[in-house]
Amino acid sequence: MVLDYLKDLNKAQQEAVVSTEGPALIIAGAGSGKTRVLTYRIAHLLKQGARPSSILALTFTNKAAREMKERIAGVVGENTARYLWMGTFHSIFSRILRAEHETINFPSNFTIFDAADSKSLIKTIIKSFQLDDKMYKPGSVAARISMAKNNLITPSVYAENSEIRLADKGLRMPAISEIYKEYVKRCRLSGAMDFDDLLLKTNLLFRDYPEILEKYQQRFDYVLVDEYQDTNFAQYLIVKKLAANHQNICVVGDDAQSIYSFRGARIENILSFQSDYPNHKIFKLEQNYRSTQTIVNAANSIIAKNKRQIPKTVFSENDAGKSIKVISALTDNEEGFLVAQEIAETQLREHYKNQDYAILYRTNAQSRIFEEALRKRNIPYKIYGGLSFYQRKEIKDILAYFRLVINPWDNEALKRIINYPARGIGQTTLSKLETAAVNAETSIWKIVTALPGENPANLNKGTMTKISRFVALIQEFACVVAENDAWEAAKTIAEKTGILKELHSDKSVEGLSRHENIQELLNGIQEFSINALEEGRPAKLENYLEDVALLTDQDTDKDEDRDKVTLMTVHSAKGLEFKNVFVVGLE
């Protein structure tokens, strides 16, 4: 008898769900129902008696993990689903590193730096090294450091690798090795890790402490990975280590959808799965439920030219659909005009909404022409993956207060808000404090809490008084955070810092918008606290902060007005659906 939750699956999907033991490679073409298969496979494991805490499922977005867990809960119940180890690579490895913080000599409440924090710190280091910031652009340096970490290259190995050093000279940035070393040192002094550290340090933890690796190998009887073609070298190694003993590893992916090599993704990971696990089973989900046969045929004809691939025959039983239209333009401006015209005409003719259209391009720089063309026709649009809610200044400011209260060693957070709202502590004072901290190889917080007894920054009495008031405020907030849930603590901090008052007094359009954004953030924190308490999870401010730090671009799309044409890169569009799609700039 076919179990109820299997009735919705086709034969290939059912086979992939019920074959739970040993290595499994599920090749899932676009629109083939891979999320459903992965979800039902986990539900099937639970129905067969597997302990939820023995199942590790790794995804690339919190949204994907959340949706999968909700679907699984619908089959096995919430009380069972809540104990699954399910989340993004970064959230799961952050959880492991916090649990093992004493072993790696890090505070359990370490801060997770986002890209902006990393670039800010790198910019500070470039300045302190008196390097030319036109040559050493923080973004370029950050990319080199990220590349190193994702390939498990530590600062000492980096410094000794002649090939890497030669490449840096070719980029006219020969001092990256020294910047990398200083960056790691200052992150540690701040009690902080960046996203790449979560992968690097988990690898080093498992490499240097085999007993800890063995503990997690024994904990996880089943390891499942979504979007395996998007994994990088560091992720690949961790997964391989965790599954080394039982080899109950199931990876879902599609070599034909490997489009993130610029982020370090290695197509070799999925192509070598069969040689990594000789006793594997392979399942191919070849039916596309999303696209018309015309689109599937076009995709197949392009994919057929790939030199290295896992053979598959993708098909659709949907209607043939409309033919793919090719529009030729002589200039960029004409291309923008023709796309906007096509949108306007099809809206009149076929009554499509703005949200039914997407314009896809290779790089964000290509959007300008299409933005101008849409504006001329008064067609509303949005840039997908633009400035996210959590990257807005007012949001980053209040989050910096939260970060500093949780982890006072967080130099980037302290620098951001020591004089916000304004309290008379200028940039010169901050530079003196930072220099004193670097010279003493400690955090700025250690310097400011030692005042006035110790004064290595040579500050005057008035300045020290202002700093002491700031320190007292943060220490007061630490007590508030310890005694209250995230919502009460956040509300108190927003009020007592004066941020709410300052934004409320700004009656400009921008000021009102910023005030609304803070209120939206507080509403979100209240919702987090309520949900966490209902689900029996910790509802403290540090738990909320970790959730926010681990959000991905796809998790932070808070655009309330949905009826807009969407402009985005091809990479951002993966997994999304629209009724009308323009792929532009194909020259």
Annotation: binding site = 28-35
DSSP string, 41-63: HHHHHHHTT--GGGEEEEES-HH
- For the chain, the straight-line distance linking the first and the last C-alpha, in angstroms and rounded, comes to 54
How far apart (Å, rounded) are the C-alpha atoms in residues 329 and 316? 32
Peptide bond preceding 456 in cis form (omega within 30 of 0): no
Number of residues in the chain: 587
How far apart (Å, rounded) are the C-alpha atoms in residues 403 and 112? 9
Place of tokens 């020290």: 464
Strand partners, 580: 357
DSSP string, 261-319: GGGT--THHHHTHHHH-TT-EEEEE-B-SSS-HHHHHHHHHHHTT-SS------B--S-
Residue type, 131: L
Residue type, 329: A
Neighbours of 204 (CB within 10 A): 14
* Spatial contact of 442 and 189, defined as CB atoms under 8 Å apart: yes
Output the known binding site for ATP.
28-35
Edge-to-edge strand list for the sheet holding 249-253: 85-88, 55-59, 222-225, 249-253, 24-28, 281-285
For residue 521, what is the enclosing H or E element? helix 509-535
Between the alpha carbon of residue 583 and those of residues 199, 299, 363, 400, the distances in Å are: 34, 13, 12, 39
Which residues have a Cβ under 8 Å from the Cβ of 76 and sit 6 or more positions away?
A: 43, 46, 47
For residue 489, what is the enclosing H or E element? helix 486-496
Largest CA distance in the chain: 82
Closest listed residue to residue 339, CA positions, set 393, 381, 309, 281: 381
Closest listed residue to residue 101, CA positions, set 219, 186, 188: 188
The encoded tokens of residue 493 equal 């901090």
* Exposure class string for 169-178: b at 16+ Cβ within 10 A, else e: eeeebebbbe
For residue 289, what is the enclosing H or E element? none
Closest listed residue to residue 567, CA positions, set 340, 255, 393: 340
Residue type, 13: Q
Closest listed residue to residue 291, CA positions, set 255, 320, 249: 320
